[in-house]
Amino acid sequence: MRARALPAPAGRGARLRLLPAVPLLTVAVLTVPVGAGLLGTALPAIGVMPALGHAAPGLGPFRDLFAWPGLADALRLSAVTGLAATALALAVTVAILASWSETRAFGAIRRALAPLLSVPHAAAAFGLAFLIAPSGWAMRALSPWATGMERPPDWLVVQDPWGLALIAGLVAKEVPFLLLMSIAALGQTDARRAATVARSLGHGREAGWLRAVFPRLYAQIRLPVYVVLAYSMTVVDVAAILGPTTPPPLSVQIVRWMNDPDLALRLRAAAGAVVQLALVAAALGLWRAGEAGVAALGRAWVRSGRRGPRGRGPAALSLALAGLAAGVVLAGLGVLALWSVAAFWAFPDAAPEALTLRSWARHGPELARLLATTGAIAGLAALAALVLAVGCLEAETRYGLSIRRGGLWILYAPLLVPQVAFLPGLQGAFLTAGTTPGLVAVTAAHLVFVFPYVFLSLGDPWRAWDARLATVARSLGAGTGGVLWRVRLPMLLGPALTAFAVGFAVSVGQYLPTLLVGGGRVATVTTEAVALAAGGDRRAIGVHALAQTGAALLPFALALALPRLVWRNRRGMQDA
């Protein structure tokens, strides 16, 4: 905590005096579980795991890890797929915004976001795999009449050794996330005026947007971009479906070791998790350096003042890319929906031989109960995270109390450390604290993973809010509370709802924390879906993927629609 000597205003009531404590409280509440999780990763990595009879620290697990012949390839795969997916996703996002923000077509893009974001990563990956596999839908639609094939060809399309399918899957899912973050942030960039000025100076739409708006926007979505990078490098479920296997990316291999019946391999897994953390940190550093390079080039480009060619070529290309990314996810979801009602469906038939509601009849009655539990946990966890995040940010605004860099690393650690290695320690903390496994414990565990997303979704737009508005409000007689409740929060309705929706979706997607901390007492749509996915039954996967999508859809739809509805008569807020 950086406590500047600002005395709390006297006589303002308990609520206000509580506020300066919120950042400290947040760090304290999250440090214990996160610290326990990190310790639970670090100790086995240096060979300490008393329950298995390993007590003496040593470098054995690391030696063991470095002796694994696939390590170099696994590291390369993690780094290359993560960096490539992030760069591509950002490029597509920027291209769409440059060409289409503030156009009529952008409304359609915005409306498509909620369903795209709600599709769970694993479900999108399943869908993509079934679209592009040699026995997938694309080939079925074309066979045998166009390809002449009665049997699927032996092509290595999915699980290719370069990770191309994995990169494609990640890009398709991350573009909507970055777009959502950008839309929430655009309201604080004064984008409309900047773009207008740039165009009045004779720049084309894209060139003007890139020069005038992008630098301001990127400053606000930098943290979400880092999250995309870290996520792409550590993701397990998508990589296990689309990624190569000989060897797999490091994250997948860590899960394999962790799940190996030979319990001693958990030490090697922990060492792998530490290496992965270092790899992610290195990649983030590399990205940072890249930012500086791009910024230098960009400044030179801006100064050059060249107007460049004009035309609708870039716009068409960016729309095609956006359509492709969206099409992949939506077609994947459509395929899963079709599988959920499919009887036998053989290659090369373009559709199942019959439709049946058997899978829905089997799983349907259970689903309603699971959805209620899922929604309750996600709603509570996201709300708690939002309250803490607003409290932290408001304390920063009023008292200059911000969470220091060390504290921030603690908060973001759950996003960077592989979950499977992190959870045994986290679980141990809950057990030692004597919590009864159940809804409350699970919600608390989810908060550890939900808070960083909510905090970073809200943080940049919050700080970018034009503080002169507060001055105006104060001069009109509003107190600090009035500024927050009547000016700032209403104006930041979009970012706040977006942060809540992201947090909600993150909570919906949690499998291991729910299972382990809940002790099997708490079943959600996701615990059910992941367990069934292990069996590869596409019908059951289809049913549960649709249920997961439905669970996350409402908050995203609200986050995208509500601010426009509330601010329909405020032209200056139409970007919010």
| Residue ranges in 152-181 that form contacts with another protein under rule CB under 8 A | 152, 154, 156, 158-161
Contacts of 264 (CB under 8 A, 6+ apart): 52, 54
Q: How far is the CB of 450 from another protein (least distance, A)?
A: 21
CB-nearer residue toward another protein: 224 or 247: 247
Q: How far is the CB of 123 from another protein (least distance, A)?
A: 15
Q: Which stretch binds another protein (CB under 8 A): 88-96, 276-284, 426-434, 551-559?
A: 426-434
For 311, the token pair is: 């035309």
Site string for another protein, 544-563 (x = CB under 8 A): --------------------
User: Does 240 interact with another protein (rule: CB under 8 A)?
Assistant: yes
For 345, the token pair is: 């469906």
| Residue ranges in 334-353 that form contacts with another protein under rule CB under 8 A | 342-347
CB-nearer residue toward another protein: 229 or 255: 255
Contact 34, 448 (CB under 8 A): yes
User: Does 144 interact with another protein (rule: CB under 8 A)?
Assistant: no
For 481, the token pair is: 């509370």
Contacts of 115 (CB under 8 A, 6+ apart): 330, 333, 549, 553, 556
Please state, in angstroms and rounded to a whole number, the distance separating the CA atoms of residues 332 and 7.
Answer: 56
Please state, in angstroms and rounded to a whole number, the distance separating the CA atoms of residues 510 and 496.
Answer: 22
User: Does 431 interact with another protein (rule: CB under 8 A)?
Assistant: yes
Q: How far is the CB of 535 from another protein (least distance, A)?
A: 3
User: Does 69 interact with another protein (rule: CB under 8 A)?
Assistant: yes
**Residue from 18, 59, 201, 263 in contact with another protein (CB under 8 A):** 263
The dihedral through the CA atoms of 351, 355, 358, 360 has a sign that is positive
Q: Which stretch binds another protein (CB under 8 A): 25-33, 69-77, 103-111, 401-409?
A: 69-77
User: Does 148 interact with another protein (rule: CB under 8 A)?
Assistant: no
Q: Which stretch binds another protein (CB under 8 A): 202-210, 223-231, 452-460, 516-524?
A: 516-524
For 215, the token pair is: 């630098």
User: Does 3 interact with another protein (rule: CB under 8 A)?
Assistant: no
The owner of tokens 């590399």 is 286
Within 13 Å, how many C-alpha atoms sit on residue 151's CB side? 3
Contact 182, 457 (CB under 8 A): no
| Residue ranges in 72-101 that form contacts with another protein under rule CB under 8 A | 73
Q: Which stretch binds another protein (CB under 8 A): 166-174, 376-384, 421-429, 446-454?
A: 421-429
Long-range contacts from 281-288, C-beta under 8 angstroms, 24+ separation: 281/416, 283/79, 283/82, 283/83, 283/229, 283/233, 284/226, 284/229, 284/230, 286/83, 287/83, 287/86, 287/225, 287/226, 287/229
- Cβ burial, residue 434 (10 Å; 0-12/13-18/19+): exposed
Interface residues with another protein (CB under 8 A) are: 49-53, 68-70, 73, 133-135, 151-152, 154, 156, 158-161, 240, 244-247, 256, 258-263, 342-347, 359, 362-363, 423-424, 427-428, 431-432, 437, 511-512, 515-516, 519-521, 523, 527-528, 530-540
